[in-house]
Structure 1
């Protein structure tokens, strides 16, 4: 009886050790699988966020480039309009100056020494020349 009980005791211990090894191996496999899944999840999340960041950055660059191009075209158009406007004003002022010069010459030829008309015309001519110079400076600044 002792031998049977020893054998059953020995078999029970071997079975218990086998179960314990299986449970340890199962636990190691289970933890390893979860570690791989968690690591893979972190890797995929990092990859996805990097990819989204690249896509968003490229999209913002495209939008910014398009907006800058539109703004540049609008600026160039406004500058061309201002340039044309100043050129027209300068031409008009040039015509006025020429007309004043003619009038001044006529007045100077016809005026006697006591009249003050020539001084007034010179003053007006100088004012027009000053305005013309200011317009030229403004045009140079815009260019």
Structure 2
């Protein structure tokens, strides 16, 4: 019986040693895998957040650049428009003064002309040319407005 008692006593120690060796690796693998997954999820979340914030920052910079460029172009267009408008206004004033002087001259020549002179026809021709130029400038002025 002594021999059998020794064999029975060895079995529980072998089984307990096998159970202990199986438990140890399982317990050490669990927390490290969880920590690794949590760390990766944290890194991915930080990457997505950083990308989002950086894209918003770039978008704001582009909007500011486009806005400043547009403002400068609008200012130059406005200056060109005002310059052209001033030139056309001056030309219109000059033509109006020419038309007025031609009208006065025409009136004077009508009063003093005889049927044999051709001066009045020349003045009418000049007056019609000036009137055409004045109409052309008025059209340009209307287009600029």
| Bin for the TM-score computed over the shorter chain | 0.7 to 0.9
Residue aligning to 1:112: 114
TM-score, normalised to structure 2's length? 0.86
Q: CA 1:106–1:9 in 2, change beyond 3 Å: closer, same or farther?
A: same
Shift of 1:15: 2.3
Is residue 53 of structure 1 aligned with residue 33 of structure 2?
no
Equivalent position of 1:34 in the other structure: 36
Looking at structure 2, the residues matched to 74 and 7 of structure 1 have their Cα atoms a distance apart, in angstroms, of 103
Range that drifts further, 11-20 or 127-136: 11-20
Gaps of 5+ in 1: none
Alignment of 1:1-143 (within 5 A): 1-143=3-145
Q: CA deviation at 1:104?
A: 1.7
1:120, CA displacement in angstroms?
A: 2.4
3-state DSSP of counterpart to 2:107: helix
Partner of 1:45, secondary structure, is helix
Task: Give, in angstroms, the shift of residue 2 of structure 1.
Answer: 4.2
Structure 2 residues not aligned, in runs of 5+: none
Superimposed CA distance per residue, residues 98-130 of structure 1 (whole angstroms, 9 cap, x where no aligned partner): 222222223323322133322222122122112
| 1:32/1:110 CA distance change after superposition, 3 Å | same
Displacement of 1:53 in angstroms is: 0.8
3-state SS, counterpart of residue 114 of structure 1: coil
1:15 to 1:109, Cα distance in 2 relative to 1, 3 A = same
